[in-house]
Amino acid sequence: MKKGKVYIIGAGPGDIGLLTIKGLYYLQRSDVVVYDFHLNAQILNYINREAEFIYAGKRGGHHEMSQEEINRALIQKAKEGKTVCRLKGGDPFVFGRGGEEAEALAEEGIDFEIVPGVSSAIAAPAYAGIPLTHRKYSSSFAVITGNEDATKAESNIDWKGLAKHFDTLVFLMGVKNLPNITRKLLDNGKDPETPTAIVRWGSRPDQKTVVSTLVNIERDSKIADIKPPAVMIIGNVVTLRAKLSWYEKKPLFGQRILITREYTKEYFKLEELGAEIFEFPTIKIIPPPDFKDLDNSISSIDNYNWLVFTSKNAVKFFFERLIYLNKDARDLKSLKICCIGIKTSEELKKYGILADFIPEEFNAEGLIKAFSNNLSNNSFSNLKILMPRAYEARESFPQQIRELGGSIDIPEAYRTVKPEKHAKRLQRFLKSGRITVATFTSASTFNNFMNIVGIEAIDILKNLKIAAIGPITAKAIEKTGLKVHIMPKEATISAMVEEIIKDCSVL
């Protein structure tokens, strides 16, 4: 019988870049993931899509599962022989109850491993521009729970020691207990004018920082409507924020951008400028039921004089079948090749072939014009085109080629389908109102999004900025009565990213 194992993994405070390599390694090999509310939902996209997801939902006193239920779930799944990841915000051993979960596993004889994470006690101050130690200001710091029961007869916290012996104090989970924390410190001799800051959602686009003094932080936090989760920092290091604040100064700080296709490197520029990416692909690329038509076309490749690729996927699937049929690039020597878009041509280069031309316009009219300029006597009568493409592609270009006297075969190379898993995760995230920009790179990504989210999709999207990659996508969106706010002149992801930056940057 296969023996299961549990990995208790700290996911960090929010910025997905703070997830450790080791944590990611085990997440990608997990059969079951038990995860909390205070996580960057993007992390779940890096987990095996076939894994079982169990939402523990712990936040601010409201738990989807009790701690005992979480322990039982970990034990049960491990006893089923599964690799289980317990994914927790911050670090599991810093007020994360990871020790309790590890104890429960140890008592059952279940193998486990701890993968530390970046604690919000460290990250939130850093993202607010507040170092916990500094040669001129602080040589010591303490991290304290902020949710100790205020009604207890005796506190387990040495308030006098904290007030007198540490340069910097960091309180986690202390928003609701703020009056008690400040009173205890003041009663034990802490200077009322000690610089104090409170950071909500540290390292995330909705990070909010309030700087005050110990005696006034409760009042100023109420004015700023600070709610959990938040980290409070008390000490002279807080004064350094005026010089060292960096994250909140990024031009796209505060933007959380939904991408409805798989993440590619073109989107990184948005993250670099301070935006957070929420990846939820609404299309999935799969092979067709069979490759009969594509294989027949490849087998008679000498019958064509032009090969047209409309996407990277078309290139990829075409060459997979070409090689499968014991052919290679030399069999394309008599053809001219057209690629729609720079990225498609770059994919073609991977196979050692350069595109003969790339049209400036990516619609049917632009393609027809480009072909006219590349034909002798502008005659289409002898034109024979092979255009492997997606099953759902538009008919405009093939129809116009035939009307002009040319011939074109359009064998199915791949299909785009709607992913069925994890729709609830997308809905929960959207309903929380945490997306600022939604991007769509095709009519399919938009239509599938509408199907996944359901009847509430219109109400959600009408409160966001919508970016469409081009006019065809924009038309599909606007048919529903929604407004497209951002659309590049060139229908590429890179161009769309640049337009988002222009529209959303805070200068």
Mean pLDDT of 121-148: 95
Active site residue 450: no
Q: Give the SS3 label for residue 150.
A: coil
Residue 60 has pLDDT above 60, yes or no: no
Residue 357 has pLDDT above 90, yes or no: no
Q: Give the model's confidence band at 3: pLDDT under 50 very low, under 70 low, under 90 confident, else very high.
A: confident
Active site residue 164: no
Q: How many CB atoms lie within 10 A of CB 421?
A: 11
Mean pLDDT of 382-410: 86
**Cα–Cα distance measured from residue 391 to residue 386, given in angstroms and rounded to the nearest whole number:** 15
Is residue 197 within 8 Å of 238, Cβ to Cβ? yes
Q: Give the model's confidence band at 452: pLDDT under 50 very low, under 70 low, under 90 confident, else very high.
A: confident
Active site residue 409: no
Residue 360 has pLDDT above 70, yes or no: yes
Mean pLDDT of 37-64: 76
Q: State pTM to two decimals.
A: 0.81
Of 460, 393, 401, 404, the C-alpha closest to 428 is 460
Residue 124 has pLDDT above 90, yes or no: yes
Is residue 78 within 8 Å of 26, Cβ to Cβ? no
What separation, in Å, do the N-terminal and C-terminal C-alpha atoms of the chain show?
60
Who wins on pLDDT, 5 or 377? 5
Per-residue model confidence (pLDDT) at position 422: 61
Is residue 388 within 8 Å of 294, Cβ to Cβ? yes
| Active-site entry in 5, 58, 184, 208 | 58
pLDDT in tens, 362-372: 666 667 777 77
| Active-site entry in 5, 77, 88, 173 | 173
Q: Give the model's confidence band at 350: pLDDT under 50 very low, under 70 low, under 90 confident, else very high.
A: very high
Domains, in order of start, for the chain: 5-118 (3.40.1010.10), 122-246 (3.30.950.10), 256-283+418-504 (3.40.50.10090), 286-416 (3.40.50.10090)
| Active-site entry in 36, 88, 91, 496 | 36
Cα 272-277-281 angle, rounded to 5 deg: 140
